Amino acid sequence: MTDLFEHSAGRNGDAPLAERMRPRHLDEMVGQQHLLGEGKLLRRLIERDQLASVIFWGPPGTGKTTLAQVIANSTESRFVSFSAVLQGVREVREIVAEAKKEKAYHGRRTLLFVDEIHRFNKAQQDAFLPFVERGDVILIGATTENPSFEVNPALLSRSRVFVLEPLGENDIRQLLERTLADSRGLGGQNLPVIPDALDFLAEAARGDARVALNTLEIAAAAAHGPISLEDVRESLQRKPLLYDKGGEEHYNVISAFIKSMRGSDPDGALYWLARMIEAGEDALFIVRRMVIFASEDIGNADPRALQVAVAALQAVQFVGLPEGRINLAQAVTYLATAPKSNAAYAGINEAQAEVRKSGALQVPPHIRNAPTRLMKELGYGAGYRYAHNYSEGFAPQDHLPEELGERRFYRPTERGYEKMIGERMAHWDALRNRSREGGRGDEESEGSS
């Protein structure tokens, strides 16, 4: 364990630039004004040393660990840093034992900073719960994953979650300029920088201060004169896409993909498809969602949509990636631009709800199976009208249990092919009504029933 932070190791000239430039006090923090601006809740709690257990949640490079170090410098409490990657439950118990002594003998609280708390499984997180509940320690957890998924609900309910946002371009630019001027950073090297290079880096960092500072450090070491745009381009390593197959961003991206197709936006759908492909998502996962979408959101407005989606599934299985992306793109743009209807999806939902509500209603006798003489004598199949004996191939009879009467589950929309289905059903309804009123409804032709 580390009692307080070993600041000296982080401030020497051998430490990475991002470590040397960590803010030491609240006023040096860049960004997160929704949390740390004057009068904001988190700032007030830190300044008054009244912080209770909290979870800092945000993407990499947004200042979670830095904020913990600022709290270490700003609070009168004892501060202990703990790594979920390197330490375990045994160390937690040792820390709590020390915390109890500190509280008993010196009246000081212990703030326990747990970096990457999502790396603990739920059982390991349970180890913190009694100590947090009794107030033995004040927990400060940091995570890049959605706490709703990754933090024990009992622990989460006893903590306040503060969401850290990616830094804005102006925030990154301010940090870079400070680094170039500060003696802890590159201030002593008198390095001129072409303004376009800083503008590009502030944008290319995508809100990640660590990426910005690491890139600037490499560019400064490699430059033969003023740091140029080309120096920064060469020094900027491709930033991994934020996409965790088991975490929140996975669900955010697939949600955006589905909603883009549902919203008939092929450009949005292609973008989110590309995001998933570039992040290494399983192509079969993507295309399975497309097969579901074809029936759930398009249905009979364009029955070919399901054929296209299934064909894409087969093509991806046969071709694989990267070429399979072309098959996916073709299918995605077809699904996005197809007419939409959720009538079939809504219909099965409503029918299942009725089954759960009313139970196993009896099958009407006229449409029961009658394979034996006894069943026929009991009236099974009596009065059944064979559709193919009618000139239109439609028999005006009911097929629902008597208790449901004329209940309607499938309601076609006026979109695409489903409009034709609706017109056909309306015609059949008219034939049924004529039959019920005593009319012939439709000529019955000769043939077996």
Q: What is the pLDDT along the chain (449 residues), one digit of tens a residue?
A: 444 444 444 445 578 888 888 888 888 898 899 999 898 999 999 888 888 889 999 888 888 988 988 888 887 778 888 776 666 677 878 888 888 888 888 878 888 888 888 888 777 788 788 888 888 888 898 988 888 878 888 888 888 999 999 898 999 999 998 988 888 888 777 788 888 888 889 888 888 888 899 889 888 888 888 888 888 888 886 555 555 555 556 778 888 999 999 999 999 899 999 988 887 788 888 999 999 999 999 999 999 999 999 999 999 988 888 888 999 999 999 999 999 999 999 999 989 998 888 888 888 888 888 888 887 878 888 888 888 888 888 888 888 888 888 888 888 888 888 888 888 888 888 888 888 777 554 555 444 44
Domain with CATH 1.10.3710 in the chain: 363-436
Question: 2-163, superfamily in CATH?
Answer: P-loop containing nucleotide triphosphate hydrolases (3.40.50.300)
The predicted model scores a pTM of 0.58
Q: Which residues lie below 8 Å from residue 233, measured CB to CB, with a gap of 6+?
A: 200
Residue 293 near residue 335, CB atoms below 8 Å: yes
Architecture, CATH, for domain 248-337: Up-down Bundle (1.20)
Distances (CA, A) of 413 to 261, 335, 352, 424: 18, 17, 21, 12
Architecture of the domain delimited by 363-436: Orthogonal Bundle (1.10)
Written as six digits, the tokens of 8 are 């000296």
* Measured distance CA(145)–CA(158) in Å, rounded: 18
Contacts of residue 332, defined as CB under 8 A and 6 or more positions apart, other chains included, come to: 261, 266, 269, 270, 273, 290
* Residue intervals in the chain for CATH 1.10.8.60: 169-235
CATH code, 169-235: 1.10.8.60
Residue 96 neighbours by CB distance under 10 Å? 21
